[in-house]
Amino acid sequence: MTIPMRFGYKASSEQFGPRELLDYAVLAEEMGFDSVFLSDHLQPWMHDGGHAPAALPWLGAAGERTSRVLLGTSVLTPTFRYHPGVVAQAFGTLGAMHPGRMILGVGTGEALNEVTLGLDWPESPERFQRMKEAITLIRRLWTEERVTFEGTYYSTSNATIYDRPETQVPIYIGASGPAATRLAGRMADGWITTSGKDPALYTDTLLPAFEEGIQKGGREGADVDTLIEVKVSFRPDLEKAKENTRFWAPLALKPEEKTGIHDPIEMQRRAEELPIERAASRFIVSDDVEQHIEAIATYVDLGFRHLVFHDPGHDQEAFLRLYGEQVLPRLRERFR
């Protein structure tokens, strides 16, 4: 199997309500996007104007309103507020209803979405092991009946998922560090990461870790999807394109500036202290379509074959139409 080149739309559940996002997903399909990925948050990054619709019911609704696009989470945490068995049941149902169109993207989680429920927040090595164990259990539940599982963190007793697709839902691992990236290469159907970081992180750390995982798993690289969320702000007015990034200023906070924060009000306070130049630093900000294409091409040249575009503006319809008319045709012509 060789993964084709695909271009997707990031439906920002932290910024828009469920009905709005559903309309945007439908429009994304109409404008020629290949996939729609939804973040799964209990709380948003920004308190004022923020949203956090539940991903699981939304995916079911989106599956009914669309007919072609792939639909997935980028990403869901199957280890704390969700038991892996619940995730297996939910995506078994989604996959049975919409075969071949669902993708389960998983990650190790963020305190923002778990601590507020009174859950403990362990250090990253434990979160990593929990995710690995959860994937193993989910796949067993999709392929076996009456699963009795005794793991370090999770257990089941004669559990059966009664409704599931004939072909398993692909599991992608979201990773921004070498350990999880290596795991994605070794055992996942796809790897999810994000753009806008130091280029050396990709070339010197993440891509070598992914290749190492591929080799350890005895797999072919072309069989594992490489998905990157590309943060873009493309508008005819350059200042408008830059100002649109303001709502997503939390992304520009350094890890030490936001690690352990689980209150959207505090996250918003810290983000609002950033100058607009820093808020925009994670995004490809441009008003020239050819320059925009060249900037996007750097990620294709690195080897990513599934680019999911995240636009920060509140005018998502304008973004989707602009991309569908001016950007996607050029990308397909160049990378077909």
- ∠ at Cα 70 (68, 75), nearest 5°? 160
Collapsing DSSP to helix, strand or coil, 311 comes out as coil
Number of H helices, E strands in the chain: 15, 11
**Is 333 an active-site residue?**
no
Burial 278-309 (b: 16+ CB within 10 A, else e): ebbbbbbbbbebeebbebbeebbeeebbbbbb
Collapsing DSSP to helix, strand or coil, 254 comes out as coil
From CA 283, how far away is CA 242, in angstroms rounded?
A: 9
Kind plus residue range of the DSSP H or E element containing 114: helix 111-114
Cis peptide bond N-terminal to 75, omega within 30: yes
From CA 264, how far away is CA 193, in angstroms rounded?
A: 23
From CA 143, how far away is CA 244, in angstroms rounded?
A: 45
For residue 55, with 0-12 CB atoms within 10 Å meaning exposed, 13-18 middle and 19 or more buried, which class applies?
buried
Tokens 């009456």 sit on residue: 146
From CA 228, how far away is CA 206, in angstroms rounded?
A: 12
Which letter does DSSP use for residue 136 in this model?
A: H
Tokens linked to 174: 């979201």
From CA 105, how far away is CA 73, in angstroms rounded?
A: 5
From CA 258, how far away is CA 110, in angstroms rounded?
A: 10
Q: Considering 41, 98, 262, 292, which one is annotated as catalytic?
A: 41
**Is 243 an active-site residue?**
no
Measured from the Cβ of residue 62, the count of other Cβ atoms closer than 10 Å reads 26
Q: Considering 14, 29, 110, 133, which one is annotated as catalytic?
A: 110
The catalytic site residues sit at 41, 110
